[in-house]
Amino acid sequence: MDIGSVLKEGEGGDSIEEGILVCSSPRCLSEYPIIDGIPVIVPDLRTYITNNVLPILGRNDLSDTMESLLGDCLGPGSAFDAQRQHLSTYAFDHYGDLDPGEIAPASVPPGSVVKVLGHGLEAMPLSNEGPVLDIGCSVGRTSFELAARMDRLVLGVDLNFGMLKVARAVLERGIVSYPKRKVGITFERREFPAVFEKSDNVDFWACDATALPFSCNRFAAAVSLNVLDCVNSPYDHLSEIARVLIPGSRATLATPYDWSTGATPVQAWLGGHSQRSAHKGASDAILRSLLAGGGHPGAIEELELVSEKEIPWTLRLHDRSSMEYQVDMVVVRKKAIS
Ligand SMILES: C[S@@+](CC[C@H](N)C(=O)[O-])C[C@H]1O[C@@H](n2cnc3c(N)ncnc32)[C@H](O)[C@@H]1O
């Protein structure tokens, strides 16, 4: 997409807090808003705004007491509750290690995704110039880690506006602020500083992992950590990674293959069904078969497998509950043009 105009610029620094990007093609003229400093560049803006209206219009100036009253009124299973649960789980894992208020040793230590990323980086040396893409970045810690460790421009993309707002607050203000779930629908707000080396090289956009708004051969590396089983079309997600990587570049994908129809229709799951087939429904076997030389009729021929290993990934749900996964981590390489 060519950016035709930015209608209104924000006040502070170089960042644009609010504006509208307009596609300059006369046959398109689609509008893409920048809201709270986050460009929203998705194929279906109406659906996106409808699905994310709560965090977009939501306020963050209410006291814990008032938030708890609203949480009680809206109840478990409400959109408000789901959003707070997601923020609690991912912000704790991404930034809990920096929270001075975490005095007692947590039953589930934070930092699981940073460890997963560390394993990926071991097998992902940079061989090309260009930026790095963190797909499904959530609240953003891995994007900051990538910028610090790889010394490149890093773009974190996700569809969850509430999570991107947390990431953006770290980028702009160096502050992590999130509701940490205690139990049931009780939460406590955690707020603490988090400053990262080379954070000037990081930005966060709302984009769809299955329809990335970038030209082909654009990124020198990509990571997709625990995203494959969260998208509507895992196949399109893989194809998009193949499309946007520069030939010769690598991507790390980690996934627990925790399929659910809430995220992915059964027919789009990679395995997890059809156990009478040759692969017996094994997701890891099907992913391998989808890479070059894997024998799948729909194989993504641009991507070849570099390495694969199993890594633990743990998420805190509340004070007394957590989920433990073994993620399959594959490092893939986009074949160099011969
Ligand atoms: C299981 S979480 C993993 C988050 C983070 N990578 C981590 O490992 O902690 C999956 C993330 O993918 C995001 N996501 C789901 N579908 C997406 C899509 N189509 N495009 C971009 N992000 C998506 C979710 O909002 C969520 O932040």
Q: 160 alpha carbon to ligand 1 midpoint, in Å?
A: 8
Distance from the CA of 195 to the center of ligand 1, in angstroms? 23
Q: How far is the CA of 26 from the centre of ligand 1 (A)?
A: 33
* Neighbour-count burial of 235, counting CB atoms closer than 10 A to its CB (0-12 exposed, 13-18 middle, 19+ buried): middle
Can you tell me the distance from the alpha carbon of 125 to that of 59, in angstroms, rounded to the nearest whole number?
A: 41
- What is the 293 CA–ligand 1 centroid distance (Å)? 28
User: Among 3.30.1230.10, 3.40.50.150, 3.40.50.620, 1.10.10.10, what is the CATH number of 54-334?
Assistant: 3.40.50.150
Q: State the pLDDT confidence band at 9, using cuts at 50, 70 and 90.
A: very low
Q: Candidates 52, 137, 159: which one to mutate for ligand 1, based on the most atoms within 8 Å of Cβ?
A: 159
Distance between CA atoms of residues 220 and 217, nearest Å: 8
Model confidence band, residue 13 (pLDDT cutoffs 50, 70, 90)? low
Span 35-58, pLDDT tens digits: 999 999 999 999 999 999 999 999
Query: What's the pLDDT score for residue 7?
Result: 35
Q: What's the pLDDT score for residue 84?
A: 97
Amino acid, single-letter form, for residue 34: I
∠ CA 196-202-205, rounded to 5°: 130
**pLDDT tens-digit readout, 274-292:** 999 999 999 999 999 999 8
Residue 111: CB atoms within 10 Å: 17
Report the separation in Å between the CA atom of 288 and the middle of ligand 1, taken as the mean of its atom positions.
22
- Displacement of CA 118 from its chain's centroid (Å): 16
Distances (CA, A) of 3 to 21, 55, 109, 256, 299: 6, 25, 43, 37, 34
Nearest CA to ligand 1 atom 3: 226
User: Could you tell which of 138, 142, 146, 225 is best to mutate to test the pocket of ligand 1, judged by most ligand atoms within 8 Å of the CB?
Assistant: 138
The pLDDT of residue 106: 74
Which residue is closest in CA terms to ligand 1's atom 14? 136
Query: Minimal CA–CA distance to 31: which of 13, 65, 4?
Result: 4
pLDDT in tens, 28-41: 999 999 999 999 99
The residues lining ligand 1, judged by C-beta closer than 6 Å to any ligand atom, are 90, 93, 113, 136, 138, 157-160, 163, 208-210, 225-227, 230-231
Please name the residue whose Cα sits nearest to atom 10 of ligand 1.
Answer: 227
Condensed to tens digits (0 to 9), the pLDDT of residues 58-94 reads: 988 899 999 999 999 999 999 999 999 999 999 999 9
Cβ-based burial of 104 (10 A; exposed 0-12, middle 13-18, buried ≥19)? exposed
Residue 338: per-residue pLDDT: 64
- Report the nearest atom of ligand 1 relative to the CA of 134: 6
Q: How far is CA 315 from the centre of its chain?
A: 15
pLDDT for the residue numbered 267? 97
* Residue 103, pLDDT score: 78
Q: Is 50 exceeded by the pLDDT of residue 6?
A: no
Ranges of CATH 3.40.50.150 domains, the chain? 54-334
The model's confidence at residue 129, banded by pLDDT at 50, 70 and 90, is very high
Q: Are strands 3-6 and 19-23 parallel, antiparallel or unpaired?
A: antiparallel
Q: Which of 227, 252, 253 gets mutated to test ligand 1 (max ligand atoms within 8 A of its CB)?
A: 227
Range with the lowest mean pLDDT among 100-104, 202-206, 318-322? 100-104
Q: Residues 236-281: pLDDT tens digits?
A: 999 999 999 999 999 999 999 999 999 999 999 999 999 999 999 9
Query: Ligand 1 mean position to 3 CA, how many Å?
Result: 26
Q: For residue 11, is pLDDT > 50?
A: no
Does the CA dihedral 261-263-268-273 come out positive or negative?
negative
Query: Cα 69 to the chain's mean position, in Å?
Result: 30
Ligand 1 center from residue 312 Cα (angstroms) = 18
Rounded to whole angstroms, how far apart are CA atoms 137 and 149? 16
Among protein residues, the one whose CA lies closest to atom 25 of ligand 1:
160
Take atom 1 of ligand 1 and give the residue whose Cα is closest. Answer: 226
What distance in Å separates the CA atoms of residue 245 and residue 221, rounded to the nearest whole number? 7
**How big is the CA angle at 263 (ends 258 and 267), to the nearest 5 degrees?**
85
**pLDDT above 90 as % of the chain:** 90
Average pLDDT over residues 112-140: 97
**Where does the pLDDT of residue 164 fall: very low under 50, low under 70, confident under 90, or very high at 90 and above?**
very high
Average pLDDT score, the chain:
94
Polymer length of the chain? 338
In ligand 1, the atom with minimum distance to the C-alpha of 94 is 9
